[in-house]
Structure 1
Amino acid sequence: MLPRPYRTEARMAPLAEPFSLRVADAELADLRDRIARARLPDQAPEPPWTYGTDVDYLRDLLGHWRDGFDWRAQEAALNAFPQFRAPLHDIDLHFLHVTGEGPSPMPLLLSHGWPGSVFEFLDLIPRLTQPSRFGGEAADAFTVVAPSLPGYGLSFRPGQPRFGIEAIADCLADLMTEVLGYRRFAAQGGDWGGFVASRLGAAHAEKMIGIHLNLLAVRRDPTMVASPTEEERRYLGELTEFLREETGYQWIQGTRPQTLAFGLNDSPAGLAAWIVEKFRAWTDNDGTPDSALDRDRMLANISLYWFTGCIGASFHPYHARMHGPWPIPATVYVPMGYCQFPKEILRPPRSLAARTYTDMADIRWWWTIAAAPAAL
């Protein structure tokens, strides 16, 4: 257990207001009508998913989205947690703030990525805030703060400023310290959330207890090692393949985000196809994302992008990344833990991670999972 000085009581700033999500019935009806009018492309004469999202899969998913999916149930699941909005850095930042059990729960910031949202965390939060319900100890509880990243979901409104990783990290640091009153806190992230947590460790180290990652912010250069070890050679091969076959979305989102946003903001079929292809590519599934993700929770995530109209703004970290410096310019000098899942996008070896996350001694915990864990 960490010493008590690391753990503080929160003080909610007066400007933070309780929030509850309620999408208008007219918007639900409009979504169903648009899905019913969707004009799908033909299926190319190759195996499914060869060129992107499979047409038959998407047709079935759209049918469920239109006729079987219960948005109100997903909305209620989100609203079961305490939510707030606070004016911060010229936007209204949305966040969940769930107090943990026990005498001094550690404040923990959870950051999602793209194309994610706070819906990813709904099954995880009770395990962190109430570990005694799941066979753990109350003394190990966290108080969870899970924001919608600036520009994403409920932290978006039309015309607001766009945020890159550096600006997101600064905004979330102020959420934790200025709005919620935590002197120090921990952070967990994957995807862009991993970059946010790493940036917090580099730029706001004095505020951090430590960071935990499931995606490492390691530079993506296949020539970074002159004489690679066998493990490093394996990773550099994976990286070369990733850069060749899996980065098309990054180039369009990073160079022409506005143009892409027209189609995805107007067509639920287009939005679902764009996002579902990533859920399939980035999860440990048997060929369709449904085997790794609950279909309704996946549609809740896509629906949140649709109802908030945030897809264009959500691309901005890619544009900022392509047109600015690497967002983790300094060494990360805070305690770090890492969990490597078998189907993670990229899996750098510890020797390369140590170039960013200080040295071997300061990577406090490194866990490699050989197979997909059981569902929560």
Structure 2
Amino acid sequence: MSDEIRDFQIDIPKTALDDLDIRLRHVRWPDPEPVQDWSQGIPLDYVKTVVEHWRTSYDWRRCQDELNQYSHHLTEIDGVDIHFMHIRSPEADARPLLMTHGWPGSIIEFMDVIGPLTDPVAHGGEAKDAYHLVLPSLPGFGFSGKPTTTGWGMEKIAREWDVLMTRLGYDRYFAQGGDWGGMITSVIGAQNLGHCAGIHVNMVIVGPPSDEIMANPTPEEQASLAHFAVYQEQGSGYAEIQRTRPQTLGYGLADSPVGQMAWIMEKFQGWADDATAPDDNFDCDRLLDNVMIYWLNNAGASSARLYRESFGAPNIDPVGIASGCSIFPNEIITPSRRWAEQRFQNLQYWNEPEKGGHFAAMEVPESFLAEVRNCFGAMAL
């Protein structure tokens, strides 16, 4: 295994964009849904509107140029090339921060917070809130390589992220994440390999509620359990498919850009805060930027495999290092503080912002920034 850090630039060939255009011109549509809402999935009329915009107005080269203004690299870890963005702050006292995305997200989730985090003074903030950012693409996602063997679950990725940070010369760092990124970040804290000084997560995964909580839940805890029960009954089918049959699912996602787009964008409606359609809360081009990261890298099956590796028995080991949790109101699971403290045993920061959902860095970037700054601002490196 080489420790080499190689420079990388995103350069999608015109042939790939031409192929996408052909596929978008020759879509075979399903019948329309027999309901007037999203209860059976993403509606046909909405998908047709997005596809027309994708084909006639969307510009991938804009996104590519925006990404390439930052520093991208590849490094091999345990036989897999890991892609990551490494954006150093101009502030001499900036602290290293590893930020990890999830599914169906990507590095695109963080585009609106990179500038304020790395150069807060240029964005009306203070130098003390500056960070050197490391933003990796999960194995099998984005521009990272695709594992060809089993075993690449969250525990392995957490260890490899520690390798990545120390390889970059960061012997001490903070870590942040949501969705799979939050689960991996929590495992980084649980493993406590000696380099991570503290974590912040905006999807808080804990074990089953204690007998005390279940015997006498607060109204907020009752609402949280009811919210999660609705997700399990109505919204978790995608996860079971990806956990059990990622390869079968992959054929459709690899062959149809509309299928890949619909599979992803449905979640940006259901997991946003009070959105009737994804572009109520997100810019449509930004949503398509994220879809393109999957489509152009043919990552439908390879990204789904993370569910096969880890979703059946997620790691809920206790976390002893300094931790912070932000519970946005329309997150999938919204445990109470006393519930979270069963796992996060050195919980130094806790907040419940008024607005936002699962994709907080994209949906409410100012609130997300405040959470990250308030959490790590009180922690020592």
TM-score over 0.5 for the pair = yes
Question: Is 1:175 the counterpart of 2:159 in the alignment?
Answer: no
Letter in 2 for 1:204: N
Counterpart of 1:7? none
Q: Map residues 312-331 of structure 1 onto 2, 5 A cutoff.
A: 312-323=301-312, 325-328=313-316, 330-331=317-318
**Is 1:283–1:289's contact at 8 Å kept on the other side of the alignment?**
yes
Of stretches 363-372 and 20-29 in structure 1, the one that deviates more from structure 2 is 363-372
Counterpart of 2:189? 201
* 3-state DSSP of counterpart to 1:18: strand
* 3-state DSSP of counterpart to 1:103: coil
What displacement does 1:202 show?
Answer: 0.4
Of stretches 107-116 and 241-250 in structure 1, the one that deviates more from structure 2 is 241-250
* 3-state DSSP of counterpart to 1:188: strand
What displacement does 1:245 show?
Answer: 1.2
Question: Is 1:355 the counterpart of 2:342 in the alignment?
Answer: yes
Counterpart of 2:65? 76
Counterpart of 2:327? 340
Q: Map residues 38-49 of structure 1 onto 2, 5 A cutoff.
A: 38-49=27-38
Letter in 2 for 1:335: A
1:244–1:35 Cα change, 3 Å: same
Work out which of the residue numbers 338, 343, 348 in structure 2 matches 1:364.
Answer: 348
Q: Map residues 210-359 of structure 1 onto 2, 5 A cutoff.
A: 210-219=198-207, 225-230=213-218, 231-323=220-312, 325-328=313-316, 330-358=317-345
Q: Distance in 2 between matches of 1:264 and 1:223?
A: 42
Unaligned runs of 5+ in 2: 357-362, 367-381
Q: Deviations over 1:292-342 (max 9, x none)?
A: 11111110110110110111111122112245x4323x2100111111212
Unaligned runs of 5+ in 1: 1-12
Q: Distance in 1 between matches of 2:95 and 2:280?
A: 33
1:375–1:209 Cα change, 3 Å: closer
Letter in 2 for 1:186: F
TM-score under structure 2 length normalisation: 0.89
**Is 2:96–2:170's contact at 8 Å kept on the other side of the alignment?**
yes
1:72–1:375 Cα change, 3 Å: same
Of stretches 272-281 and 225-234 in structure 1, the one that deviates more from structure 2 is 225-234
Q: Distance in 2 between matches of 1:368 and 1:75?
A: 34
Q: Deviations over 1:255-289 (max 9, x none)?
A: 01100001011001111111111111111243011
1:160–1:70 Cα change, 3 Å: farther
**Is 1:156–1:308's contact at 8 Å kept on the other side of the alignment?**
no
Q: Deviations over 1:238-259 (max 9, x none)?
A: 2222211111011110001100
Letter in 1 for 2:336: P
TM-score under structure 1 length normalisation: 0.91
Q: Distance in 2 between matches of 1:304 and 1:148?
A: 10
Q: Distance in 2 between matches of 1:148 and 1:55?
A: 31
RMSD: 1.9
Q: Deviations over 1:67-104 (max 9, x none)?
A: 11000000001101001001112111100001113222
Q: Deviations over 1:17-46 (max 9, x none)?
A: 111001110110000100111111111221
**Is 2:151–2:309's contact at 8 Å kept on the other side of the alignment?**
no
Counterpart of 1:125? 114
Q: Distance in 2 between matches of 1:49 and 1:135?
A: 40
Of stretches 130-139 and 253-262 in structure 1, the one that deviates more from structure 2 is 130-139
1:316–1:228 Cα change, 3 Å: farther
What displacement does 1:184 show?
Answer: 1.1
Question: Is 1:146 the counterpart of 2:135 in the alignment?
Answer: yes
Q: Distance in 2 between matches of 1:106 and 1:88?
A: 24
Q: Distance in 1 between matches of 2:315 and 2:260?
A: 28
1:285–1:183 Cα change, 3 Å: same
* 3-state DSSP of counterpart to 1:153: coil
